[in-house]
Amino acid sequence: MTTRSQSWFAKTEVQPTAKLQLFCFPYAGGGAYIFNSWKSRFAPDITVLPIQLPGRESRSTEAPMDTLQDIVQSLVPAMAPYMHKPFAFFGHSMGALIAFETARQLYSKTGKLPVHIIISGKSAPHLPYSKKRLHDLADDSFTEELRLMQGTPEEVLQNAELMQIIMPRLRADFKVCETYVYQPGNPLVCPMTVLGGIKDFEVSTDSLHAWQQHTTSPMDVRMFEGNHFFIHEQEQEVISAVKNILSTSSPMGHAAAAHTAYNTSTLQPRFRQS
């Protein structure tokens, strides 16, 4: 396995008896660390592989990527050494968008698909991005917007030195979401489950249900108590739900169906910056 491939995935103790690998994609500003507690909770049946984006954690010396195209085009080849077992995707917010486009690109390039995609806290990709544009705000305004989102601890926001360190990656992550333009393509031929927070006023229930048009399989929407960061507020419940979802997936049966569908698919995902 190459160093290039390894750099995209946080250090994880691979479970030799695991039948499934779960790739976990973090939200904007987050890193692989947000899934640290998941690793032991899924062992030994599932190996959790958190995605480690450039510009943070062990990749802090690298420049962050600020377009979805750059992330996906670099990530897909790095996943090749991990494709020997069935796999699933979990992504929250920005991570859900990366997971979705990674699945499209992976399918287009290799014919492989996750046995299940779990989308969390993200509106369907074809819907217009209606949030305020943040990535190019002045530092003070950008910091105040982060405060309103309640996703960054106040002690971090008040630490000017620390903010200077993490602000480039935060801006890059917001730019990924704010400049993304969905390009129509065939729906994915794999099961999808969508998770949402009951008090998440950023993502409506209707926008969660709208993911149905991006899969040929029946789709389930599950709601949890909490706001946009319900995956932390209700971590035990979310992990239990993910375990249950994956336990009902059929890796071998789905893999065969996916490869058959690939032979007749014209899916060619494309990207464009706005």
Q: Which residues are catalytic?
A: 93
E strand or H helix that includes residue 87 = strand 87-92
Phi, psi of 193 (to 5 degrees): -125, 140
| Residues present in the chain in total | 274
Please check whether residue 104 is in contact with residue 189, taking contact to mean a CB–CB distance below 8 angstroms. Answer: no
Q: What is the DSSP letter of 187?
A: P
Phi, psi of 18 (to 5 degrees): -65, 135
d(CA 28, CA 65): 12
d(CA 74, CA 91): 17
